Amino acid sequence: MTRLVRSQGLLTTTHGLLLAAATFLGLSAAGTLELTFTLQPSYALLALAAVCGLPWALQGWLSLPRTVQLAAAALVAVYLIAMLAGSPARLPSQGRGGALRPLVYLVDLGLGLTIIALLCGVWSTSFGRRLLLAFCAGATVTAALAVYQWFALRFSLPLSDLNTAPNSDGFTTGHRFQGTGLLGWERTRGTFKEPLVLGIFCAMTLPLAVLAIRGARRRWRVSAAACLLFTGCAFALTVSSLSVGIFVATGLVVALIVALREGHVSASTGLAAFMALGLVVGPVMLSNPSSLSSLTGRTAEDLRLTADNRKDAWRNAVHRWEERPVLGYGPGQSSVRLAYRPDPQAVGRTQAPVVLGSAQGVWAASLVDAGILGLCAWAALFAAVLWRGVRSTWRERGLGRALILWSAATGAATAQFSGDRVDIRVWLALGVLAATSNLGAGQPSRAHEQADEAAGRSPRNGVGADLARG
């Protein structure tokens, strides 16, 4: 009996940490702690949840489909071998580029995979509702701050910038001009390091806000609608063409799956034709981004510079990969190998140090870090998890599963165009997709139900539809 009570208490603690992490996901460049590497509040909370919930993480891992287990194990194995056989370089002037970088990268990878297993192990219907509520509450505040910032920067209002983490240039902090956007005003980035990252967060939030509205009871529906309203406004104010493009593209794919499932021939044909048109128009816009200037309000020079930076990063990453094509240089080495010295005038300084670069996408970073084997391992993991989500969406009626798939697919797709690691928000979204796709959740265990009963929770309380059934 004592052992059961302890187990319930530990499970309740794990649930609480996961809920707190979901609430503070918007604190990306605000409220951070610098320990050589930037420690975000949500990251620290998820790490604690992984430690407290290790028994349920193991249970979730064992219940995952064999394809997901093999893909995850292969990914870890490839990066471990790449670390042992790699050729790590260091930046003496950059603490982030020191000897601990490979280890930090592996810890980050391990935490991401543990989050997926943990959510599958602790999932229950009532917990899913509470997780959705916590996330939407935090997202509402995050988006509201971003909307306020848009006005505050224009009219020099207080608290226009709350960020304390280093900017995307790697060494400055605080406000930097983010470029001209709607109405000729500065683009907003909220509590994120740049508008693109805020746009990705909003793109992942919008489907979940719709899900909350669909399943919310009357007292919560207004709150869910506020989340949708503020997030939509913040999304528009980022003027991030990449985030919008990926959000629309993944939405079309999910809509096509739903249309085919429901047997709507005309809708399926129209969606397929629209997607085919996008495959033609997309590369044209990528090669000539200035064509979006009139639609976004951003200058042609700004759009061209953004696209050129990303294409240059990909080109340099491929050149580095060609030098060590099989296993790469080791975990986290893409940023070190692509290090550069920023233009001092661009950041308002007289001189600038050498800073870590970015491969602008997990696919490019994996080539440098772990070679072709790393790229294949990442592709296998994304494909395994997303394919199970597609199958779940196909089996279940309603839009709940489709909305969760839309959010997770958007996060996975945007990870291929920004950064050198999978963001902690994307890992959480993939974990929710895994749990709600019966990748290991199934029916809530008796321990889960007893923990909810001990806390006085009824399965009918809370907000949101049954996330296990959509």
Of 73-87, 211-225, 367-381, 403-417, which range is least confident? 211-225
Q: Is the pLDDT of residue 119 over 60?
A: yes
Residue 215 is predicted with a pLDDT of: 73
Residue 314 lies in a domain: no
Number of domains observed in the structure of the chain: 1
| Contact assessment for residue 470 and residue 394, using Cβ atoms and an 8 Å cutoff | no
Domain extent at residue 195: 2-297+375-454
pLDDT above 70 coverage of the chain, percent: 88
First to last CA, the chain: 35
Q: Which stretch, 13-22, 343-352, 454-463, has highest mean pLDDT?
A: 13-22
Instruction: Say if CB 231 and CB 198 are below 8 A apart.
Output: no
Q: Is residue 190 part of a domain?
A: yes
In this structure, is residue 364 part of a structural domain?
A: no
| Residue of 86, 124, 98 whose CA lies nearest to 37 | 98
- Decide if 191 is inside a domain: yes
Q: Region 360-369: what's the mean pLDDT? A: 96
Within a domain: 325: no
> Domain for residue 136, yes or no?
yes
Mean pLDDT, the chain, whole residue set: 87
Maximum separation of any 2 CA atoms in the chain, in Å: 68
Q: pLDDT digits over 82-117, tens only?
A: 999 988 888 877 778 888 899 999 999 999 999 999
Rounded Cα distance between 99 and 1, Å, is 47
Any domain includes 286: yes
In a domain, 202, yes or no: yes
- 55-59, long-range: CB < 8 A, 24+ apart: 55/7, 55/10, 55/121, 56/11, 56/14, 56/118, 56/121, 56/122, 57/114, 57/117, 57/118, 57/121, 58/117, 58/121, 59/121, 59/440
Predicted confidence (pLDDT) at residue 35 exceeds the cutoff of 70? yes
pLDDT digits (tens, 9 = 90+) for 127-162: 999 999 999 999 999 999 999 999 999 999 998 998
Q: For residue 109, which of 90, 82, 128 has the smallest C-alpha distance? A: 82
Q: Is 421:105 a contact under the CB 8 Å cutoff?
A: yes
